[in-house]
Amino acid sequence: MIVKSFEINKINNSHKIFLFYGENEGHKNEIIEDKFKKKYTNSIYVYEENEILKNQENFFNEILSKSFFEKEKLIIINRTTDKIKNLIDEIIEKKIDDIIIILNSNSLEKKSKLRILFEKNKDLTCIPFYADNNQTLNSIINFFFREKKISISQQLINVLIERSRGDRKNLSNELQKIEGFSLNKKNINFQEIIKLTNLADNYSASELIDHCLAKNTKKTVTILNENNYSDEDNMIIIKTLLNKLKRLLKIHDLIDEKSNIDQAVSSFKPPIFWKDKPIVTQQLRSWGKKELKDLIFESNSVELLIKKNSAIAKNILSDFIINNSKKTNN
């Protein structure tokens, strides 16, 4: 049965097997995160098609086994092709009720046996994910800034669409860069957008700080070496660091309430981008509340220092970031 992505909430609960196909990985990931992963937080199993086909017996043993606490399992199989059709036929025949299966495929031609199976069977769900157009991306950007209560002009929206190259996944990355910088801001201007989305060809201030706080020194050094930061870039980086530190401190308060890092990360408001959750979790394990408070104090001091010493600001900031990526906390 063919279903459009925006109709997924209308699907009957009896539907257990889904085929997501198309090149729009950003949209697929959004649906999987929002509609499925939030429901099956502790019972998610991700496979690649080739590893399943190498050992189908082991795969069936894993999906059929169930712990006392599991009601249903979410099985995600990536990079699926027609090669997996026979296995899906077997799963359908077994009528396994307590698993949800998502097959994530790239483009499938109309004559694809897997696609035909899902399109013609009313008990299976087939959802195509086509490339976004400017209107769709425009709506995503407007919603993002409306949620943050930040005003933005159509000119800046067009800039973001252009820099994302019309791709939803790229756009999510650009909005992620802006999110850390825009906390407590009521508007954002053209120069800030340009700097935030074009700090380097491949890396953003947000990525640099994420790797620093995750204690990934090698990646941190690589990003620093591949960028020639201006004075404005240095200020964006230090402000991004401060915003991320303050967010980690707030999440630690939630951990105190829930006694669980994953639950705290999932329930944090504003929501953390799905792709950032693993690295945020890693950062929380690397930095305790006291260390975060100390680093916020030190970061404020470094901010004043680079403002007063623009000639050596890059060296001051680089040393500070690298040293903290190496720091061993108790």
DSSP secondary structure letters along 164-211: TTT-HHHHHHHHHHHHHH-TT-SB--HHHHHHHH-SSSS--HHHHHHH
Q: What is the CATH number for 283?
A: 1.20.272.10
- Single residue among 128, 155, 171 that ends a domain in this structure: 128
Q: What is the CATH number of the domain that holds 45?
A: 3.40.50.300
Question: Does residue 163 contact residue 198 with C-beta atoms inside 8 Å?
Answer: yes
Question: Among all chains, which residue has been given the structure tokens 């720091």?
Answer: 327
Residue 262: predicted pLDDT? 86
Tell me what pLDDT residue 104 has.
95
Q: Measured in Å, how far apart are the chain's first and last C-alpha atoms?
A: 55
Q: Could you tell me how many residues make up the chain?
A: 330
128, 152, 170 - which closes a domain: 128
Cβ atoms within 10 Å of 143's Cβ, excluding its own: 10
Residue 142's contacts (CB-CB under 8 Å, 6 or more residues apart) are 152, 157
Say if 146 falls within a structural domain: no
pLDDT the model gives residue 285: 93
pLDDT for 25: 85
- Crossing angle of the two packed helices 205-213 and 168-181, in degrees rounded to 10: 70
- pLDDT value at residue 330: 55
For position 200, what pLDDT does the model report? 44
- Residue 201: the pLDDT is 44
The one-character DSSP state at 260 is -
| Domains of the chain: total | 2
**Residue 39: inside a domain:** yes
The residue type of 18 is F
**Residue 123 sits in the same domain as residue 214:** no
Q: Per the domain annotation, does 289 fall within a domain?
A: yes
- Residue 283 within any structural domain of the chain: yes
Regarding whether 205 and 108 lie in a shared domain, the answer is no
Q: How far does Cα 47 stand from its chain's mean position?
A: 18
Q: Could you tell me if 193 and 159 are in contact, meaning their C-beta atoms sit under 8 angstroms apart? A: yes
The label of the residue with tokens 């407007």 reads 142
Which of 86, 111, 128 delimits the end of a domain?
A: 128
In a structure prediction context, what are the per-residue pLDDT tens digits for the chain, which is 330 residues long? 998 887 887 777 778 899 999 988 888 988 998 888 878 777 888 899 999 999 999 898 888 876 656 677 899 999 999 999 999 999 998 887 788 999 999 889 999 999 999 999 999 999 999 888 888 899 999 999 988 888 888 888 888 887 776 778 778 878 877 887 777 778 888 777 777 775 444 456 888 999 999 999 999 998 888 776 667 778 889 988 998 999 999 999 988 876 788 888 888 887 787 778 899 999 999 999 999 999 999 999 999 999 888 889 889 999 999 999 998 765
**What is the DSSP code string of 276-306?**
GHHHHHHHHHH--HHHHHHHHHHHHHHHHHH
Whether 192 is covered by a domain: the verdict is no
The HSE-up count of residue 247 (CA atoms within 13 Å, CB side) is 27
314 and 229 in a common domain? yes
| Rounded (10°) angle between helices 231-258 and 168-181 | 90
> Which residues fall within 8 angstroms of residue 249, CB to CB, at 6 or more apart?
289, 292, 293, 296
To 10 degrees, what angle do helices 217-225 and 205-213 make?
A: 150
Q: How far is CA 150 from CA 140, 145, 186, 204, in A?
A: 14, 5, 5, 21
Q: Domain residues for 229?
A: 199-326
Distances, alpha carbon 226 to alpha carbons 202, 220, 223, in Å:
9, 10, 5
Question: Which amino acid would we find at residue 133?
Answer: N
Flag whether 173 is in a domain. no
Whole-prediction pTM: 0.54
For residues 321, 176, 28, 250, the Cα torsion angle rounded to the nearest 10 degrees is 80
